[in-house]
């Protein structure tokens, strides 16, 4: 291949992959193995010392899983990446090297419901905490930062849809206060949004969604931009100071832009064990080969469905940033130039009861707690994914009782619209 940079469409097929050195297999084999034979005792010692890079044990690294990490890293424009067992595992893995007991993160109020619960409840068990702030209020964001804050966290196209975070403005605040910005890019995918180009330090993904694309896998990925100076503030001792959990290696000075990635493998995956399996990595690699094609159709269908819904008298409002009526429409061209994604919400006249009837009457749509499938999906967030939240939190998160969330698939748009039409007729009769 030539030296000119390859386009996204080419990288999604070729990045991280080469014909198998042992057999010439064109597709990346599923290396279904737990361990790897060392050449000799010296080779083994060098691998454990990180003096030579190679495979030891599949809890740490595996060739199929590494191919996926390298591919997503290339698509996001990062320096290194690690795969994890789920999107939620990826979030813990992203925070793990940065945090410690008593430390906190500042998180956007507009997040996937499960992330809200992970951050507001579960991370307390580690002595970590989260403060939730409206990321459109940059002064409030900056004011929430204290001496114990170690990261700022948001989603690019945020759950449950219709909101686009001004990543340029948020990363400017992160730079000012000297903290890493972590962006969950699950709903956008790197085809629609590349957070590192907008100042993100780390990008996290649930590979369960659009990256795999067909609802077959649970997986997660963390991509490091390699751009954050972990040594500068003294706030990230796991990376900048001798790490007792890895015989005193100071990862940041020693490994430069790869410090976070190596720490995440050598300490994070080794000790937390949130590892992706090679079968899962294979399915996600297959999905990514068609990512751009699918995302184009997802976006086109979402726009058609949102436009149709907005004109329908049975609908109170539609929150899709791809619509000119959206207060976030002006951010699309800058943050996600290839489209506002395919996840959005709409409010049905008739409130909670009409929403429940609508859900019970769809035929083509699947009523599932998932998003980013080839199939169109629907859920009433207030009674499911956002059920753990108070009504005030639900409304703040855009998941009030009269709101339905859809993840528009890649079926024919006319069929998707026809299904919503008949279900709305039943719901509002």
Residues in the chain: 429
Write each residue from 80 to 99 as x if it is in contact with ligand PLP (CB under 6 A), else as -, in one continuous string.
Answer: ------xxx-----------
Measured in whole angstroms, the distance separating CA 73 from the mean position of its chain's CA atoms is 13
Q: What is the DSSP string of 44-62?
A: HHHHHTTSS----BTTT--
Q: Is the peptide bond before 339 cis (omega within 30 degrees of 0)?
A: no
Write each residue from 324 to 363 as x if it is in contact with ligand PLP (CB under 6 A), else as -, in one continuous string.
Answer: ----------------------------------------
Whose CA is closest to 224, among 257, 270, 256, 192?
257
Q: Is 371 in the site for ligand PLP (CB under 6 A)?
A: yes
In b/e form, how buried is each residue of 204-233, taking b as 16+ CB within 10 angstroms? bbbbbbbbbbbbebbbbbbbbbbebebbee
Number of amino acids touching ligand PLP (CB under 6 A): 17
How distant, in Å, are the alpha carbons of 103, 137, 246, 398 from that of 98? 9, 25, 16, 30
Stretch that binds ligand PLP, among 57-65, 169-177, 206-214, 357-365 (CB under 6 A): 206-214
Q: Is 419 in the site for ligand PLP (CB under 6 A)?
A: no
User: Smallest distance, Å, CB 186 to ligand PLP?
Assistant: 4
User: Smallest distance, Å, CB 88 to ligand PLP?
Assistant: 4
The residue (of 112 and 228) whose beta carbon lies closer to ligand PLP is 112
Whose CA is closest to 375, among 218, 161, 213?
213
User: Smallest distance, Å, CB 153 to ligand PLP?
Assistant: 11
Sheet of strand 149-155: strand arrangement: 80-84, 220-224, 202-206, 181-184, 149-155, 104-108, 129-133
Residue with the closest Cβ to ligand PLP? 87
Footprint of ligand PLP on residues 106-125 (CB under 6 A)?
112, 114-115
Whose CA is closest to 97, among 238, 272, 234?
238
The residue (of 62 and 212) whose beta carbon lies closer to ligand PLP is 212
Stretch that binds ligand PLP, among 128-136, 173-181, 202-210, 299-307 (CB under 6 A): 202-210
User: Smallest distance, Å, CB 21 to ligand PLP?
Assistant: 31
The residue (of 357 and 396) whose beta carbon lies closer to ligand PLP is 396
Q: Is 386 in the site for ligand PLP (CB under 6 A)?
A: no
Angle at 45 between CA 70 and CA 254, to 5 degrees: 55
User: Smallest distance, Å, CB 239 to ligand PLP?
Assistant: 24
Name the residues that contact ligand PLP, by CB under 6 A. Answer: 86-88, 112, 114-115, 155, 159, 184, 186-187, 206, 208-209, 218, 220, 371
């Amino acid at each position: 291949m030539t030296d000119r940079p390859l386009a996204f469409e080419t990288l999604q097929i070729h990045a991280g992959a080469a014909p198998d050195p042992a057999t010439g297999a064109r597709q990346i084999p599923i290396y279904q193995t737990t361990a790897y034979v060392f050449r000799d005792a010296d080779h083994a010692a060098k691998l454990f010392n990180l003096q030579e890079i190679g495979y030891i044990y599949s809890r740490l690294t595996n060739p199929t899983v590494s191919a996926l990490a390298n591919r997503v890293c290339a698509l996001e424009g990062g320096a290194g990446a690690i795969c994890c067992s789920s999107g939620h595992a990826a979030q813990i893995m992203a925070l793990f090297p940065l945090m410690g007991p008593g430390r906190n993160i500042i998180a956007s109020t507009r997040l996937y419901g499960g992330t809200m619960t992970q951050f507001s409840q579960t991370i307390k068990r580690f002595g970590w905490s989260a403060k939730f702030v409206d990321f459109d209020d940059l002064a409030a964001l900056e004011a929430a930062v204290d001496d114990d804050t170690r990261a700022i966290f948001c989603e690019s196209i945020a759950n449950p849809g219709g909101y686009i975070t001004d990543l340029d403005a948020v990363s400017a605040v992160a730079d000012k206060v000297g903290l890493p910005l972590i962006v969950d890019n699950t709903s956008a995918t790197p085809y629609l949004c590349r957070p590192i180009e907008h100042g993100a330090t780390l990008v996290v993904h649930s590979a369960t969604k659009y990256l795999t694309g067909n609802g077959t896998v649970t997986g997660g990925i963390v991509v490091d931009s390699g751009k954050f100076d972990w040594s500068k503030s003294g706030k990230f001792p796991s990376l900048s100071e001798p790490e007792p959990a890895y015989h005193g290696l100071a990862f940041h000075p020693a490994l430069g832009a790869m410090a976070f990635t190596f720490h995440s493998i050598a300490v994070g995956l080794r000790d937390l064990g949130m590892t992706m399996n090679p079968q899962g990595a294979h399915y996600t690699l297959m999905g990514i080969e068609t990512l751009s094609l699918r995302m184009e159709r997802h976006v086109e269908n979402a726009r058609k469905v949102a436009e149709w819904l907005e004109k329908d008298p049975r609908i109170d409002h539609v929150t899709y940033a791809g619509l000119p009526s959206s207060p976030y429409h002006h951010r699309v061209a800058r943050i996600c130039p290839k489209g506002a994604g395919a996840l959005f919400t709409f409010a049905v006249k008739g409130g909670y009861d009409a929403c429940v009837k609508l859900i019970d009457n769809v035929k083509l749509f699947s009523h599932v707690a998932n998003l980013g499938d080839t199939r169109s999906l629907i859920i009433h967030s207030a009674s499911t994914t956002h059920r753990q939240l108070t009504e005030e939190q639900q409304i703040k998160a855009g998941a009030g009782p009269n709101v339905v969330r859809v993840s528009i698939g890649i079926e024919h748009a006319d069929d998707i619209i026809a299904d919503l039409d008949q279900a709305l007729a039943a719901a509002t009769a």
